[in-house]
């Protein structure tokens, strides 16, 4: 992927940085992000939309990888930002991300989060349900501010996501107002009556890691039908249609994602086709890619430690990280590819399974991968870990979370420090009552 190559020493090099040197400088496990590849993905979206002639915003879904340096980079590339919590919002604001290009998502925004976002003056709330609609109106009124909203709708499209947990467009979903049963229509009516809310349009997100365009096209068709009904019966026009994220990437050979420009062309084409007959101005199109911006730019570097061979069954090779830094295999049975990064030209001679170091059997990163013979101290690089790895990492077994570096043009920059032992206990308190007990 991207700027990765094998150098003359037979080492993996990313962004011009030899991973053996990165290990010496930062230790392992280490998340390595190829900055040029992230920027290339941002530009692919921006260029493809610009070519469509439609108005647009590309909002990076920061849940995929939310750190201040990434927010800065997204801003530099002209993207907007999707946040779903006070923590993601705080990260963006601290990074100086322009609040007017921040969109706030979530099915249970707290009064605190709503206040924080209103005080910051963010560009848009994606309202999920009737309780939130009332709450947002009440808080906005008390602050005497107006706020732009989109209504999140479920178009009734079942996307072929990689896992049921990642599919969200179907009727039986915790998210959004249903188009099919009249609740979305009711939400438009209620929004129009709320003085401090300005309804821009609707939002639909059908799932994640999607390889086909049909789901998006179907969602556009359903949303356009809905827009027609709203225009005819309520005399309200949508100026924005947000189609969410979900564009797939290639984790392993079996994955067959489309090029970014193909997803965008399908969506903008469907908008032109299905909205043309409504007799309204074509809406601005917003999307919210997360995985496809950062996913394939990330590589996790591990050091190989122990191994165990069960004759006739399997060989386990253990690395110094695991489900703490990448919970996706345990959670979704996600598949990854790996490379022996310090002897990348050596031929594969055995099939091994990569185990993490956490205290449970489910802590496996890869089942059955072909590798050269591994020794303690070798470096293993797992590819495509840029999305939903650092952002879903935990301190299970009180293992410190790894550092994150951006690499480009032979230079590496630390963007998240490795957690220290003192970080791990920073919030712990031993009540005096317990501390004082005689031993």
Catalytically annotated residues? 359
- Residue 331 backbone phi and psi in degrees, to 5: -85, -40
d(CA 244, CA 247): 9
64 binds ligand LLP (CB under 6 A): yes
**Residue from 274, 388, 390, 406 in contact with ligand LLP (CB under 6 A):** 388
d(CA 401, CA 417): 9
208 binds ligand LLP (CB under 6 A): yes
**Residue from 15, 156, 244, 386 in contact with ligand LLP (CB under 6 A):** 244
Q: How far is the CB of 391 from ligand LLP (least distance, A)?
A: 8
* Binding-site residue positions for substrate: 291, 328, 332, 360, 388
Angle, helices 214-234/183-192, rounded to nearest 10 degrees: 50
- Look at residues 210, 360, 365, 399 and name the one whose alpha carbon lies nearest to residue 288: 210
* Binding-site residue positions: 246, 288-291, 328, 332, 360, 388
- Site for ligand LLP, residues 108 to 167, rule: CB under 6 A: 166
User: 142-146 — which CB contacts under 8 Å span 24+ positions?
Assistant: 143/115, 143/118, 143/119, 145/118, 145/121, 145/196, 146/196, 146/197, 146/198
**Quick one: 242 or 374, whose CB is closer to ligand LLP?**
242
328 binds ligand LLP (CB under 6 A): yes
Contacts with ligand LLP by CB under 6 A: the residue count is: 21
Please list the alpha-helical segments (H only) found in 200-343: 214-234, 260-276, 291-294, 328-332
245 binds ligand LLP (CB under 6 A): yes
Q: How far is the CB of 236 from ligand LLP (least distance, A)?
A: 23
Count of alpha carbons within 13 angstroms of residue 266, beta-carbon side: 17
The residue to which tokens 């996706």 are assigned: 328
Quick note: the x/- pattern for ligand LLP over 390-429, rule CB under 6 A, is ----------------------------------------
Q: Centre a 10 Å sphere on the Cβ of residue 206 and count the other Cβ atoms it contains.
A: 26
288 binds ligand LLP (CB under 6 A): yes
105 binds ligand LLP (CB under 6 A): yes
Burial class (CB in 10 A: 0-12, 13-18, 19+), 281: exposed
Q: How far is the CB of 144 from ligand LLP (least distance, A)?
A: 29
- Cα distances from 340 to residues 160, 179, 356, 414, in angstroms, run 33, 50, 16, 23
**Residue from 155, 156, 246, 257 in contact with ligand LLP (CB under 6 A):** 246
**Quick one: 64 or 365, whose CB is closer to ligand LLP?**
64
14 binds ligand LLP (CB under 6 A): no
Q: Which residues bind ligand LLP (CB under 6 A)?
A: 61, 64, 82, 105, 166, 205, 208-209, 244-247, 288-292, 328, 332, 387-388
């Amino acid at each position: 992927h991207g700027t990765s190559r094998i150098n003359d020493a037979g080492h993996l090099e990313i962004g011009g940085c030899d991973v053996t040197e990165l290990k010496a400088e930062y230790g392992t496990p280490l998340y390595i992000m190829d900055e040029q590849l992230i920027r290339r993905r941002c530009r692919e979206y921006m260029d493809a939309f610009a070519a469509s002639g439609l108005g647009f915003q590309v909002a990076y879904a920061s849940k995929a990888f939310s750190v201040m340096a990434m927010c800065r980079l997204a801003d530099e590339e002209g993207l907007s930002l999707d946040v779903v919590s006070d923590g993601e919002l705080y990260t963006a604001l601290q990074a100086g991300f322009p609040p007017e290009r921040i969109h706030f998502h979530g099915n249970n925004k707290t009064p605190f989060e709503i206040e924080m976002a209103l005080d910051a003056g963010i560009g848009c709330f994606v309202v999920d349900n009737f309780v939130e609609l009332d709450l947002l109106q009440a808080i906005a009124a008390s602050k005497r501010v107006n706020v732009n909203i989109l209504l999140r709708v479920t178009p009734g499209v079942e996307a072929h996501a990689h896992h049921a947990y990642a599919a969200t467009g179907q009727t039986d979903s915790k998210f959004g107002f249903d188009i099919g049963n009249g609740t979305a229509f009711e939400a438009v009516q209620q929004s129009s009556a709320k003085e401090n809310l300005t309804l821009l349009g609707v939002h639909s997100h059908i799932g994640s890691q999607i390889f086909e365009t049909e789901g998006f096209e179907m969602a556009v068709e359903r949303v356009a039908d809905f827009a027609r009904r709203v225009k005819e019966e309520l005399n309200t026009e949508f100026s924005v249609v947000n189609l969410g994220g979900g564009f797939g990437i290639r984790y392993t050979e079996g994955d067959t994602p489309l090029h970014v420009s193909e997803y965008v062309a399908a969506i903008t084409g469907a908008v032109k086709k299905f909205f043309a007959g409504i007799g309204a101005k074509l809406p601005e199109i917003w999307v919210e890619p997360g995985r496809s911006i950062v996913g394939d730019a990330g590589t996790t570097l591990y050091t190989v430690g122990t191994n165990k061979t069960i004759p006739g069954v399997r060989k386990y090779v253990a690395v110094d990280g695991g489900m703490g830094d990448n919970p996706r295999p345990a959670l979704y049975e996600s598949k990854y590819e790996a490379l022996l990064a310090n002897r990348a030209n050596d031929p594969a001679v055995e099939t091994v399974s990569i185990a993490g170091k956490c205290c449970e059997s489910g802590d496996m990163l890869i089942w059955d991968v072909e590798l050269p013979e591994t020794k303690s101290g070798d470096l293993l690089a797992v590819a495509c870990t840029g999305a939903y790895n650092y952002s879903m990492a935990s301190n299970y077994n009180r293992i410190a979370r790894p550092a994150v570096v951006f690499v480009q043009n032979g230079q590496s920059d630390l963007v998240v420090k490795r957690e220290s032992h003192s970080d791990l206990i920073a919030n712990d308190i031993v009540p005096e009552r317990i501390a004082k007990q005689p031993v």
